[in-house]
């Protein structure tokens, strides 16, 4: 079988215009799929980065709140103990 190489790297088995059009259409479809895949990966990576940043921010807030609660709890019993002694 003899192959003909077209400009964009598409191989077809004959020189008929119909086969060439079909091969070109398949090639352009694959190109479009690759572009869409790259866009989808970029969106996925951006969403993943945003989620990690949000998680980090929320974790820092939670740890700060827990520390503040611990300090408040440590001070509260000390005050309560003083009142009981009277």
pLDDT tens per residue, range 21-70: 888 999 999 999 999 999 999 999 999 999 999 999 999 999 999 999 99
Nearest by Cα to 22 from 31, 12, 32, 30: 12
Taking a C-beta distance cutoff of 8 angstroms, is the pair 18, 4 a contact? no
Total-model pTM: 0.54
What's the token pair of residue 53? 């940043």
Query: What total of structural domains would you count in the chain?
Result: 1
């Amino acid at each position: 079988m003899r192959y003909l190489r077209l400009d964009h790297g598409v191989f077809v088995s004959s020189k008929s215009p119909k086969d060439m059009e079909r091969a070109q259409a398949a090639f352009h479809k694959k190109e479009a799929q690759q572009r869409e895949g790259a866009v989808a990966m970029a969106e996925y990576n951006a969403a993943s980065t945003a989620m990690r940043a949000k998680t980090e921010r929320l974790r820092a807030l939670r740890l700060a709140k827990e520390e503040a609660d611990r300090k408040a709890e440590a001070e509260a019993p000390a005050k309560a103990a003083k009142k009981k002694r009277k």
